[in-house]
Amino acid sequence: MSAVTVVGAGVIGLSVAHELATAGHDVRIVADRDAGASVSAVAAAVWFPHDVEHTAEVLDSAAATYRRLEVLAADPATGVHMRPGTVLSREAEPDTSWTRSVPHTTPAPSRPDGATGLRCTVPLAETSTYLSWLRGRVRALGVRFETAAVTSVAELSRAHHPDALVVAAGLRSGPLLGDGSCFPIRGQVVRLANPGLTEWITDDQNPEGLTYVVPRRSDVVCGGTGEVGSWDERIDPEIEAGILRRVCALVPELSGQPVLSRAVGLRPGRSGVRVGVVPGFERPVFACYGHGGAGFTLSWGDAARIAALIDSPATME
């Protein structure tokens, strides 16, 4: 057994803590906010490797997460559901590398606007239910939670004396590790009453802006934006009006549906997902961040990669 401190309590931090505790490690999570106040709670949380480069490692983690979420979907308490939907494209040769992580895809019917697409069934998580369930599972495994603002990995390591430390704090990870390649990707959503929709649809290349419709049991998450470099977490009424125009054009059944809530989240962008050993510290430090809009999509796969690294004698020397 090793004592491991995990910095971050969003979907990545919780998943890492779960896998480490399951492997028998003594785990503590340190974060200045819980999952309900993190960007994870804002996410539409439909499986798709969005805002990340589709490297072999990313697609492997996406596939592993798909399989885990598919199993969890059998338990209603998790808030995970398997839902059919469509990924639209407006390119002559779209990137379909992500399909290797999905068991089956079929061409979508042609659309009047010329967009083509692929249909598939993927996991979708009701964020409030899923994050609450995951936090409960982690607590049941004996993981301890500490509320604190972490400003120095070295100081935290000296205070806790862990055998290993994992930085999984989203946008806060870069500054903690001296990594200047991280940046925010501002995402704004509006949640409408659900008129009975069950299928999701994404239109990343909509000429009017990023557009997606993700129905849940009691609402529909409608988006969105992908403003690279923006730290603005205020609701912008003009952006919301644009989102509503786009989603109603894409899914006419949404026209006239009342707004239930609205939110803004800052996705943790980076030049590439970082999962691995961070040199230069007295004790072993590991990174797990830079997931862009794919935190839920990569969570279990990357958590398993971190657990394997910590269980490897070579990386813990």
> Could you write out the DSSP letters of every residue in 166-178?
EE--GGGHHHHTT
CA atoms of 280 and 259, how far apart (whole Å) = 49
- Residues 6 or more apart in contact with residue 229 via CB below 8 angstroms: 183, 184
Report the pLDDT averaged over residues 62-69.
98
Place of tokens 């090793």: 2
Among the listed residues 317, 307, 218, 230, the one whose alpha carbon sits nearest the alpha carbon of residue 266: 230
Task: Give residue-wise pLDDT tens across range 295-313.
Answer: 999 999 999 999 999 998 7
| Residue 315 or 206, more confident | 206
Whether the per-residue pLDDT at 37 is higher than 70: the answer is no
Query: What confidence category does residue 316 fall into, taking pLDDT thresholds of 50, 70 and 90?
Result: low
Going from the C-alpha of 244 to that of each of 224, 231, 248, 259, 262, the distances in angstroms are 9, 22, 6, 10, 12
Query: What confidence category does residue 119 fall into, taking pLDDT thresholds of 50, 70 and 90?
Result: very high
Q: Are 85 and 202 in contact (CB under 8 A)?
A: yes
Query: What confidence category does residue 159 fall into, taking pLDDT thresholds of 50, 70 and 90?
Result: confident
Model confidence, pTM: 0.95
Whether the per-residue pLDDT at 1 is higher than 70: the answer is no
Mean confidence (pLDDT) of the chain: 94
Put residue 179 in one of left, alpha, beta given phi > 0 → left and psi -120 to 50 → alpha.
beta
Query: What confidence category does residue 36 fall into, taking pLDDT thresholds of 50, 70 and 90?
Result: low
Task: Give residue-wise pLDDT tens across range 177-190.
Answer: 999 999 999 999 99
Which of 40-44, 149-153, 233-237 is least confident? 40-44
> Could you write out the DSSP letters of every residue in 60-128?
HHHHHHHHHHHHHTTSGGG-EEEEEEEEEE-SSS---GGGGGSS-EEEPPP-TTS-EEEEEEEEEE-HH
Rg (CA), the chain: 19
Domain residue ranges in the chain: 3-310
φ, ψ of residue 115 in degrees (nearest 5): -70, 140
* Triad 202, 296, 164: Cα angle to 5°: 155
| Residue 43 or 99, more confident | 99
Torsion of CA 32, 221, 188, 52, to 10 degrees: 80
Question: For residue 160, what pLDDT is reported?
Answer: 86
CA atoms of 175 and 173, how far apart (whole Å) = 6
| Residue percentage of the chain with pLDDT more than 70 | 97
Put residue 64 in one of left, alpha, beta given phi > 0 → left and psi -120 to 50 → alpha.
alpha
CA atoms of 268 and 173, how far apart (whole Å) = 9
Whether the per-residue pLDDT at 61 is higher than 90: the answer is yes
- Residues 6 or more apart in contact with residue 224 via CB below 8 angstroms: 44, 187, 188, 189, 210, 211, 212, 243
Task: Give residue-wise pLDDT tens across range 252-280.
Answer: 999 999 999 999 999 999 999 999 999 99
Q: Are 120 and 108 in contact (CB under 8 A)?
A: no
Which of 103-117, 163-177, 267-281 is least confident? 103-117
Q: Where are the alpha helices (DSSP H) in the chain?
A: 11-22, 56-72, 127-140, 153-160, 173-176, 237-250, 295-310
Query: What confidence category does residue 111 fall into, taking pLDDT thresholds of 50, 70 and 90?
Result: confident
Query: What confidence category does residue 251 fall into, taking pLDDT thresholds of 50, 70 and 90?
Result: very high
Question: For residue 303, what pLDDT is reported?
Answer: 98
Q: Are 275 and 188 in contact (CB under 8 A)?
A: no
Question: For residue 71, what pLDDT is reported?
Answer: 98
The domain 3-310 is classified under which CATH number: 1.10.443.10, 3.30.9.10, 3.40.50.300, 3.40.50.1820? 3.30.9.10
Question: For residue 43, what pLDDT is reported?
Answer: 78
Bridge partners, 286 (sequence order): 166, 277
